[in-house]
Amino acid sequence: MATVAQPCPSWTSGSVPLSKRLTRRRFSGRINTLTRLTPQAALVQAPPSPSAPRDNSSIQVLTLSRANDLQAEARAMARAANASVYNPQLIASMYGSQPVKVVRRTLQIVVALGSFGLKLLLDQRNGVLVKNRRLRASELKNIFTKLGPTFVKLGQGLSTRPDICPPEYLEELSELQDGLPTFPDEEAFACIERELDLSLDSIFSSISPSPIAAASLGQVYKAQLKYSGRLVAVKVQRPAIEEAIGLDFYLIRGLGFFINKYVDIISSDVVALIDEFARRVFQELNYVQEGQNARRFKKLYADKEDICVPDVFWDYTSAKVLTMEWVDGVKLNEQEAIERQGLKVLDLVNTGIQCSLRQLLEYGYFHADPHPGNLLATPEGKLAFLDFGMMSETPEEARSAIIGHVVHLVNRDYEAMARDYYALDFLSPDVDVSPIVPALRDFFDDALNYTVSELNFKTLVDGLGNVLYQFPFNVPAYYALILRSLTVLEGLALYADPNFKVLAASYPYFAKRLLTDPNPYLRDALIELLFQDGRFRWGRLENLLVQGRMDRDFSAKEALQPVLKVLLSPDGEELRTLVIKEAVQVTEAFTLSTISDTYKSVPEFMKTLVFNGNANGPIIMSEVETQNMIELRDQVFRIWGLLQSSNDFDPDLLLPILQVLQQPEARRLGERVMGGITQRLAARFLQQVLRVPTSST
């Protein structure tokens, strides 16, 4: 087991070959050039275009480059071999033998949080606990900032936990800024040399004299590589940060045991939550791991032309130093600066929403620290993601369950929504969901007075958070984090357009997945969405196709084939019965509406001659029935037109369907459909033949 590592040496240690004179004079001329550049910037390297032709020599160069990159990464991993990992038992044994340090830090925390707790107690006794929530939440945010990096991270983590904190605390803590002072530049430069075993002037031709950004765990400098001249950002970890964080989590974990035992209002296992969060923070302290996170994120999501992901310089990266490529950009919450570049905030937000949905529901690997400072708008109009220290993953089962949950929300099926919380790991299997159903109904019946696409996402999250807070939910970290991510994006968009709705922007992705994904859970969800009370909802299908085609990854070749496979499966008898009934109705609608249209085109004098002396029509149908059939036929035509107008439409997309229709079960299905159609048309024909002509007067 790795122990808590020693901090980087200070300038006064005498072990560092770099001098203050070197830092302040040798780089003084070149520093000024860097500091004149835009301070809001990030690291990004767009992937090569996949459509670009490559000859053998370029492929060999690319292969060699990748091999060199892997070797450099291996060397970086070797430098980080002794990076710390979170081990609560090891930390307990370490600080159990340092009572003075423990008592001193305990007093700092107790004084700060004790005064806050006393205020809460007085609020409760005076009956103003709910009234003063916003004020107390703001005070807690300031306390966390003063207590240092661990509590800043803790506050940011709590801002994603609706099962622990009331909505007012979620909002205030989500605005928590690091607000921490920088540490001396001399210590940062010494740390770089120690970690990389190179002198600073052998790595960089210039470096900024002070950090261009500071966070809870480290600070960032802008520099220029000596060997290539490329601009980079160099993130350096705070000295002794591991010891400070280890001590804080040792104390916080002890408080967690106390809460689990004596505080009934919090239903979650607080110690487990603390351990999970501490593991993530310690992972964030390993900058090689962060570099690997960035590489994986880039591989999964930078295939889109509007997404930029930082690239890593492994030869200048270690556990405490991270060197990445630099690109100018503007933080996503700086709307005026974005618009001055000729960009639209809403376009960037939509890009962020689509990428977030892919992270959550497609690959399950996503950015776990979503806030505006980690999202940049580049001058080219791309969205750059930053800071990959904290990442998370969504289990595969949960990805499908979330889409199913949206379907149940659309259908207002609150019993199914409540049962979804088992699949989402919100509730243990022994919890009775029946008391939760009325709470869901009370909130969503009011919220869904609007259509889902018109519903404000923040309102939805706040309302759902209130439900979660009242019942024994244990919200998984991945779910809370992605909700926060989408809420942040909607909040940014609302500044540009008060009518923006994140659910409306998300719906094309959900529609595309429902129409094309062969996952059994999603096939069932699609069938559930399209069929209700034994009727096929053609309007829903048309709407799904309209929305799904808005997603640029929609494929007409894949649309509806999952349902066709289920239809012809051994377990599809119930669905086949519904489809047969609907196919008969559609065929009848096509036939009779066509007859009706033909009849209308016949001259008046022929109508009485051809149609048994009756000019009222060739078929016995009311005007309403005729209109319904015409509308159904036209709707089917529109649906076919939507498929035909898709970018990748090809008549060959029917071939898989024709192959499936050659199966024995498909032939039997066709025979049943034809039998039903024959019976309906025969009945219509007999009704027409036996109709008594109207007598002339």
Q: Among candidates 149, 156, 88, which has minimal Cα distance to 368?
A: 156
DSSP assigned state of 26: I
Q: Among candidates 407, 413, 486, which has minimal Cα distance to 452?
A: 407
Q: How many residues does the chain have?
A: 697
Per DSSP, the residues of 118-171 read HHHHHHHHTT-TTTTHHHHHHHHHHHHHHH-HHHHHHHHHHTT-TTTS-HHHHH
* Three-state secondary structure of 498-560: CCCCHHHHHHHHHHHHHHHCCCHHHHHHHHHHHEECCEECHHHHHHHHHHHCCCCCCCCCCCC
Q: Pick the catalytic residue: 185, 248, 315, 369?
A: 369
Cα distances (Å, whole numbers) of residue 106 to 142, 179, 571:
18, 22, 62
425 is catalytic: no
Do the bridges between strand 391-393 and strand 383-385 make them parallel or antiparallel, or are there none, so unpaired?
unpaired
Q: Among candidates 216, 215, 133, 141, which has minimal Cα distance to 172?
A: 141
Q: Classify residue 679 as exposed, middle or buried by CB count within 10 Å of its CB (0-12, 13-18, 19+).
A: exposed
Q: Among candidates 332, 320, 313, which has minimal Cα distance to 233?
A: 313
Q: How many Cβ atoms from other residues are within 10 Å of residue 359's Cβ?
A: 27
Q: Among candidates 538, 48, 64, 500, which has minimal Cα distance to 311?
A: 48
Beta bridge partners of 232: 223, 325
Pair of tokens at residue 389? 């220290």
Would you please indicate which residues are annotated as catalytic (active-site) residues?
369
